[in-house]
Homo-oligomer: A and B are copies of this chain.
Amino acid sequence: MILDSETKAVELPEDHGDEIRLWLRLLTCTTLIEGEVRGRLRERFDVTLPRFDLMAQLDKVPDGMTLSDVSKRMMVSNGNVTGLVERLVESGHLDRRTSDADRRVQVIRLTKAGRAEFRKMAAEHELWIADIFADLTPKDVRELMRLLAKTKASAQKSAKARTA
Contacts and interface: CB of A to CB of B under 8 A. Distances in A.
Interface of A: 14, 16, 18-23, 25-36, 40, 75, 126-136, 138, 140-141, 143-145, 147-159, 161-162
Contact of A147 (B32, B126, B143): B143
B131 A158 contact: yes
Copies of this chain present: 2
A81 B41 CA distance: 24
Contacts of A134: 154, 157-158
Given A29-B152, A36-B155, A23 B147 contact: no
Contacts of A143: 143, 147
Contact of A155 (B20, B32, B127, B145): B32
A130 B11 CA distance: 14
A16 B126 contact: yes
Given A20-B129, A22-B133, A147-B140, A75 B158 contact: no
A42 to B, nearest CB: 13
A31 B132 CA distance: 19
A150 B16 CA distance: 23
